[in-house]
A and B are shown apart, each in its own frame.
Chain A
Amino acid sequence: MSVLIYTEINKGKVKKASLECVNYGAKIAQSMGTTATAVVFNADAAQLEEIGKAGASKILSVKNDKLTGADNTILTAAVEQLAKAEGSKVIVFAFDVVGKAVAPRLSGKLKAGLVAGAVDYPVVSGSTLEVKKNVFSGKATAIYTINSDVKIISLLPNSFPVVLGENKASVADTSVDLSAVVSRITVKEIKSSSSGTTVPLPEADLVVSAGRGMKGPENWGMVEDLANALGATTACSRPVADMHWRPHHEHVGQTGIAIRPNLYIAIGISGAIQHLAGVNGSKTIVVINSDKEAPFFKSADYGIIGDAFTILPKLTEAIKKLKANSN
């Protein structure tokens, strides 16, 4: 009957989005009078420890070579078996790349209602759950009711800060039987995105983004300098990606990635409604634009009117100074 939480390891660590899910699932379990069970594949002791600290009371630790990739056929089959064995009525995923594939596939298998991209804790109302999520690309929210027996929620990353406490989790080494699962997908090649050291865009707390106002790809050095000084991830508007000034995976907005970092700095971006749709969930928005009429200022917390080419180097220096002083 427990709440089941799917967690993932990436680059040797438990994903931040997964820890958010454990926090979230533990709180749901509490309000439903049950316990939170996390599922993790091929984790080591330190990783299990961290999942425990995020609030799981039990961890199903599965070691299986078939569960190393991103194949949703296999991942779904494994989670399905574990959920059935646990008798889970609520299953929590992150609304990230893997969660967007596995959660709906599991929904199809279990006939379980799914709310994809929840932004708040569900309200338990009899045998249904009411969950809030963003709709109309962030222009509104909706309260969804999940009516099915088994319910799946995927949580929008960065909706809550991660809180770690004492580890009270029991670890259960568990196995799944994947012998009957046939996936027709064969991986031929994996290409990691260029910036190996920075946080991927959907998970980033700090984002520095620039648009057509930067005039050309040769001017991106100063955008990167600012991002490096902050420890931020870079992003861009759609025309910038379309003109191949920047890689496609940096494109944010309605047709790109939707993000909600703590800080979004928009440089030389006009603030078209389709751009805003992907960034207006950010906690704090700073806009730097030479046109005082730029629509983006209406959606900003802080604004500087002026030429990005002179402002950026000064801003980078000021950030470096702050960092130096606080160290």
Chain B
Amino acid sequence: MKILVAISNVPDTTAKISFANGDSEFNAAGVTFIINPYDEWYALVRALELKEAGKATQVTLIHVGLVDSEATIRKGLALGADDAVRINAEGPDAFFVAEQIAKYSKDNAYELVLVGKETINYNGSSVGGMIGGLTDWAYVSLATKLDFNGTTATIEHDIDGGTQVVECGLPMVVSCAKGMAEQRIPNMRGIMAARTKPITVVEPTGNDKLTSIKSFELSKGRTECKFIDENNVEQLVNLLHTEAKVI
């Protein structure tokens, strides 16, 4: 079984967010980019574990993005992925990204596609389900455990008000959430090895942009915190009841 892990390139979680060009695009100046945490900590690490356990033969990264994402892809290779593919086109329309990944996985006989639960910049939780719809493969969302017995996967995933354990045969798409694996730190050997691992660049197919972003706006912060004395909690209860009207 060959595993394709979809990784997205996102601003570091502590990055200061600002916009450029009349608030029409993200201002990347001075921002550090990382692999989307769900893709790295859960999807990629679990894929590597499956390979180490002899249950997968190859772990390939796929990223839809321009050449400036290659540093992020190298980090994924340093963690232990065998190789990487970069589809040479700008995101972030989820459908366009999903189309690229769907096509690549079908054309190259990948039977398991792992995506993250959501990207921390566009928060769509969409790409995995779209790949499922485009390929007609099974899609298991918000998975917290994934294991294989031969070609049958056992997956624990979130449902409304709890979790369920399902079995599913290949091919399939799984979106990965917390619980599936533990974060790893790349070591020196991994970093050295990553330098020579191949990143194949592939031109995109189609140019469906079903959605586009017209403008951004920073969320407004809160005005000011009203402090209440710790010996007067009744005042807080009163304010919540009469001023905020939330209880």
Which positions in A face B, CB cutoff 8 Å? Answer: 8, 10-11, 15, 70, 72-73, 76, 95-98, 100-109, 111-117, 130, 133-148, 183-193, 200, 205-206, 230, 241, 248-249, 251, 254-256, 258, 262-263, 273-274, 277, 280, 283-287, 297-307, 310-311, 314-315, 318-319, 321-322
Contact = CB atoms under 8 A, between A and B. Distances in A.
Contacts of A115: 211
Contacts of B123: 116-117, 133-137, 258
B121 A135 contact: yes
Main secondary structure of the interface of A (DSSP, over half): mixed
Given A139-B218, A303-B225, A315 B163 contact: no
B53 interface: no
A184 B134 contact: no
Contact of A286 (B134, B135, B240): B240
A147 B129 contact: no
B189 interface: no
A37 to B, nearest CB: 22
30 contacts: A70-B160, A70-B164, A101-B129, A104-B124, A107-B129, A108-B131, A108-B133, A108-B135, A111-B95, A111-B208, A112-B210, A113-B210, A114-B95, A114-B126, A116-B126, A117-B124, A117-B125, A133-B123, A135-B122, A136-B123, A191-B163, A192-B162, A193-B162, A205-B246, A206-B246, A263-B246, A301-B225, A302-B226, A302-B240, A319-B247
A281 to B, nearest CB: 8
B133 A109 contact: yes
A128 to B, nearest CB: 9
A281 B211 CA distance: 24
Contacts of B219: 134, 138-141, 280
A306 B164 CA distance: 41
Given A191-B164, A304-B233, A318-B233, A103 B225 contact: no
Given A183-B138, A283-B246, A319-B247, A142 B215 contact: yes
A186 B167 contact: yes
A103 B139 CA distance: 12
Interface of B: 11, 13-14, 17, 19, 37-38, 41, 94-95, 98, 102, 120-135, 138-142, 144, 154, 158-169, 172, 178-179, 208-219, 221-222, 225-230, 233-234, 236-241, 244, 246-247
A108 B141 contact: no
A310 B231 CA distance: 9
B161 A184 contact: no
B40 to A, nearest CB: 11
A26 B74 CA distance: 48
B247 A188 contact: no
Contacts, number: 282
B17 A104 contact: no
Contact of B216 (A141, A248, A307): A141
B108 to A, nearest CB: 19
A307 B81 CA distance: 47
A263 B247 contact: yes
A254 B41 CA distance: 13
A201 B23 CA distance: 33
B161 A200 contact: yes
Contact of B225 (A97, A183, A188, A287): A287
Given A104-B133, A108-B133, A302-B236, A284 B244 contact: yes
Question: Which are the 3 A-B pairs with shortest beta-carbon distances?
Answer: A108-B133, A104-B129, A113-B210
A248 B178 contact: yes
Nearest to A193: B162
Given A111-B210, A318-B233, A76 B133 contact: yes
Contacts of A136: 11, 17, 120-121, 123
A311 B233 contact: yes
B193 to A, nearest CB: 28
B17 A139 contact: yes
A302 B225 contact: yes
B138 A142 contact: no
B144 A248 contact: yes
